[in-house]
Chain A
Amino acid sequence: MGVFVFLPLVLPLTAWPMARLAEQHLHPRAATRLLTWVAAVMAACSTLCLGLVMVVGTAQLPGNPLPDGWSDPEVRAAVPYDEVVGKAAIPALFAVLVVCGRTLWRHGRVRRTAHRALGGLPATEVVVLPDDVPYAYALPGGLRDRVVVTTALLSCLEPAERRALFAHERAHLAARHHRFLLAVQLAARANPFLRPLRTAVSYTAERWADEEAARTVGSRRTVARAIGKAALVSRGTPVPTLAGFAAPGPVPRRVTALLGPAPLVRNWPSVFTTVGLAAWGAAAGTAVSAMSSANSAVTMFFILYAATPL
């Protein structure tokens, strides 16, 4: 099989240009779904590939619990540089499992403790907390989904802007955005090359909720103002870096997008546009990555099956 065995480990790089183009040109809903699926498939393929390489690499170590036949020369011939790569794959796979497990555990814990913190309050959908730190977020799960917002944030918004804020958070809950965010987070942990997809999806999910909010309150400008005011009041301490070199952050980009025209809903762009080309290119990359991983898995399975002493 040669070096193609390692293809799923590096193919996530093909998703970078697509993440850029999708977040700029696709409708945020389509972009979120597409990028999340791409990230999930590529992460699964990459982890599978790591697992297979590890099996071959480990089988030759003395004292391992795997069948001796798995370290036959024919098996090792299937993986190039099997000694080095196989041994390197052991800690790598271990690290992937540990960080993914930790991410899942942390996700569950934060949601549980956050729900517990609200335990003494009436079970309303919107919870207003008296706090001088301005924040707002959607809290899924528990007995019911909740929108948590502080008095400090509400006090700086006008009634229409508050409606926009609630519509935004409800959109997060209704579309189950936390699942997309968790999926891309796990993917980014499984293969660091997928990190740009995580950043892109957390941006497109916000844009998706912004667009929904704009539809609900019937004014893009109101949503833009709500975001802008909320960001300015909760900006915290600005990071003194080289000003002028920094690209605009997600908040100004969201506001700019809302002040512009509504994005078109089109699920798959034509191949003959730049966006279409990038999207289809990355989709093809994902498909190749998936097939190459599946191919590696099946081949490896048969080799190992043939080499197993019965």
Chain B
Amino acid sequence: MTDHRQRPRRRGQGELEAQVLSALREAEGPATVGWVLDRLGGDLAYTTVITILTRLLAKGAVTRERAGRSFTWTPASDQAGLAAHKMRKVLDAESDRGAVLASFVTGLGPDDERLLRELLGRSGSEGED
């Protein structure tokens, strides 16, 4: 599951994502980019907020709907979804995941999948007898 690992980025990017997401969560209903910008204040550029929202969209943390010429944004995640998102980040940052957390299954080698299907198939047919 290394394909989710993020490249090292400029500092503060993850922090901004969290800020934008928490701002969205405070909104009552779908919010526009302008609303998020007002909410966050500071010296953020309009395009920066769009970039961050697009990235959150790619992660499945927000959804968007077309409203006229622009989009309105809604946080996709409830509390559990947010936790899932954070947990993914923890796990993805850990290149050698098995080193710390004993996961239920480890990766399969090239021949393992075929072998496993054979074993399961045999066990399944025996179970039906």
Contacts and interface: CB of A to CB of B under 8 A. Distances in A.
Interface of A: 103, 106-107, 110-111, 113-114, 116-121, 127-131, 133, 135-139, 148, 150, 153, 165, 168-169, 172, 177-178, 181, 185, 202, 205-206, 209, 221, 224-225, 227-232, 234-244, 246-252, 255-256, 259
B123 A107 contact: no
B18 to A, nearest CB: 12
B111 A178 contact: no
Q: How large is the interface on B (under 10, 10 to 19, 20 to 34, 35 or more residues)?
A: 35 or more
Given A177-B102, A231-B108, A244-B111, A133 B1 contact: yes
Contacts of A238: 108-110, 113
Question: Which A-B residue pairs are the 5 nearest by beta carbons?
Answer: A117-B86, A129-B84, A249-B109, A136-B104, A231-B105
A236 B84 contact: no
Contacts of B9: none
A241 B111 CA distance: 10
A250 B113 contact: no
Q: From DSSP, what is the main secondary structure of chain B's interface residues?
A: helix
Interface of B: 1-4, 77, 79-84, 86-91, 94, 98-113, 115-117, 119-120, 122-124, 126-127
A92 to B, nearest CB: 22
Contacts of B86: 116-117
A130 B119 contact: no
A230 B102 contact: no
A252 to B, nearest CB: 4
Contacts of B90: 110, 113-114, 117
Contact of A228 (B91, B101, B102, B120): B120
26 contacts: A106-B99, A114-B87, A118-B83, A118-B87, A130-B81, A131-B87, A133-B88, A135-B1, A135-B91, A135-B104, A209-B102, A221-B126, A224-B120, A225-B124, A228-B116, A229-B120, A235-B107, A238-B110, A243-B110, A246-B112, A248-B112, A248-B115, A249-B107, A249-B108, A251-B108, A256-B119
Contacts of B104: 135-137, 153, 165, 168-169, 227, 230
Nearest to B105: A231
B83 A127 contact: yes
Nearest to B107: A236
B1 A246 contact: no
B94 A221 contact: no
